[in-house]
């Protein structure tokens, strides 16, 4: 994949595995991106290159079992475990004062980590809902591709459905998503479902977000097909009144890919708001 600006790639050895990550050439506020289930850091290629990457120091990591990072024992592919790893990664690279952006599963990993990143400038959650226990199923929609995310096999035809449903049209983005899904450890998908619904250490993300002091913004595609936008509006307006909700017009569940320009502008405004506090 050709990058418009220089992109550095690194490997960091953590306690349980090696983590692959990318860093842009920008020197502004540090922003750490955490990808979703069966994806990779390269799904943030439009934030890791171009004007956004020049304005900010952008770092995107491959979670274990994804991209070029090492694998874990299948039982360790849980959100609490991935949260521990994100905190360890941040401490090792002295990123505690970064802004953390988590997309989909990455959003849940970031929300799990909030209490252990007290110096963070703020948090941005893209296409993810703070889960509670018991989980409020009213937040979920019946996306046609969703079940494949929790099965060992992720058939090619399901990937094509996923791309079409989320308005991913650029050939380079399609290829990168195909590669990320095929490269991911199949055990991630089967273990994650059990983690979300049965893991005893799974934190009440809603309670964490309710109690947090740092700023948090939710970004969703206005046409998100995984989570209910009316549910999110009500949650932010009535329960999480200290947070804000931003919607990207015409975007679905991959706003940073399908509508990168609008997404980057929205995110830059949030970053400047956080830095100026």
Residue range 8-47, pLDDT digits in tens? 999 999 999 999 999 999 999 999 999 999 999 999 999 9
Question: What pLDDT does residue 71 have?
Answer: 97
Question: What pLDDT does residue 143 have?
Answer: 77
Residue range 113-153, pLDDT digits in tens? 999 999 999 999 999 999 886 667 789 888 777 777 777 78
| Stretch 66-94: mean pLDDT | 96
Q: How confident is the model at residue 203 (pLDDT cuts 50, 70, 90)?
A: low
Kindly list the structural domains of the chain, giving each domain's residue range(s) and its CATH number in brackets, ordered by start.
7-275 (3.40.50.1820)
| Stretch 251-263: mean pLDDT | 99
pTM score = 0.95
Question: What pLDDT does residue 200 have?
Answer: 57
Q: Is the pLDDT of residue 1 over 50?
A: no
Tokens 């991209």 -> residue: 67
Question: What pLDDT does residue 149 have?
Answer: 78
Query: What are the angstrom distances between the C-alpha of 214 and each of 1, 118, 129, 150?
Result: 35, 8, 17, 32
Question: What pLDDT does residue 239 have?
Answer: 96
| Stretch 66-77: mean pLDDT | 95
């Amino acid at each position: 994949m050709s990058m418009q600006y220089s992109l550095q790639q690194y490997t960091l050895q953590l306690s349980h595995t090696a983590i692959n990550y990318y860093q842009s050439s920008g020197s502004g506020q540090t922003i750490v991106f955490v990808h979703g289930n069966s994806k990779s850091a390269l799904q943030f290629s439009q934030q890791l290159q171009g004007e956004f990457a020049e304005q900010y120091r952008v770092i995107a990591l491959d979670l274990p079992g994804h991209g070029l990072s090492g694998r874990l024992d299948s039982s360790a592919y849980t959100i609490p475990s991935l949260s521990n790893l994100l905190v360890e990664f941040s401490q090792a690279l002295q990123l505690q004062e970064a802004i953390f952006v988590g997309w989909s599963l990455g959003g849940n990993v970031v929300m799990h980590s909030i209490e252990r990143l007290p110096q963070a400038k703020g948090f941005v959650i893209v296409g993810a809902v703070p889960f509670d226990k018991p989980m409020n199923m009213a937040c979920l929609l019946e996306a046609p591709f969703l079940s494949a995310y929790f099965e060992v096999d992720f058939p090619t035809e399901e990937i094509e459905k996923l791309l079409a449903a989320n308005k991913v049209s650029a050939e380079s983005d399609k290829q990168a998503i195909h590669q990320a899904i095929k490269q991911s450890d199949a055990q991630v998908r089967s273990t994650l479902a059990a983690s979300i619904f049965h893991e005893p250490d799974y934190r009440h993300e809603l309670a964490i977000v309710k109690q947090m002091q740092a700023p948090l913004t939710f970004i969703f595609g206005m046409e998100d097909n995984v989570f209910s936008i009316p549910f999110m509006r009500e949650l932010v307006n009535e329960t999480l009144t200290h947070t804000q909700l931003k919607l990207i017009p015409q975007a679905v569940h991959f706003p940073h890919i399908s509508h990168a320009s609008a997404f980057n502008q929205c995110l830059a405004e949030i970053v400047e708001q956080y830095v100026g506090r």
